[in-house]
Amino acid sequence: MDDYSIIVKPLITEQGMHFANAKGAYSFEVNKKANKAQIRNAVEKIYGVKVHKVRTANRKGKYRRRGRATGMTPSWKKAVVYLEPDYHIDLF
């Protein structure tokens, strides 16, 4: 897998920005098949930072309704990347 296909997009939320400032933890939506080592290498190459640790979680899709029709949102994988203290990522 290519580094740019591993990292789908950064997750920019209020809670995510708080964790980035307080703990140096950044969240990303990643490819479902990517493992922690691949995520670590991709973030280090794309953003030029040193990664301390990676935590991942598989997020299950939710049921949604539009009138009588029901469906599900897609499932996805989330990665929280903790950086070494001297590094940071500018997401804006």
Q: What is the pLDDT of residues 63-86, one digit of tens each?
A: 999 999 999 999 999 999 999 999
Contact 61, 74 (CB under 8 A): yes
Question: pTM value?
Answer: 0.90
Contact 54, 28 (CB under 8 A): no
Q: How far apart are CA 35 and CA 38, in angstroms?
A: 5
At which residue do the structure tokens 């030029």 appear?
48
In the chain, the domains with their CATH numbers are: 3-83 (3.30.70.330)
Burial of 41 (0-12, 13-18, 19+ CB in 10 A): middle
Contact 17, 60 (CB under 8 A): no
Q: What is the pLDDT of residues 1-35, one digit of tens each?
A: 899 999 999 999 999 999 999 999 999 999 999 99
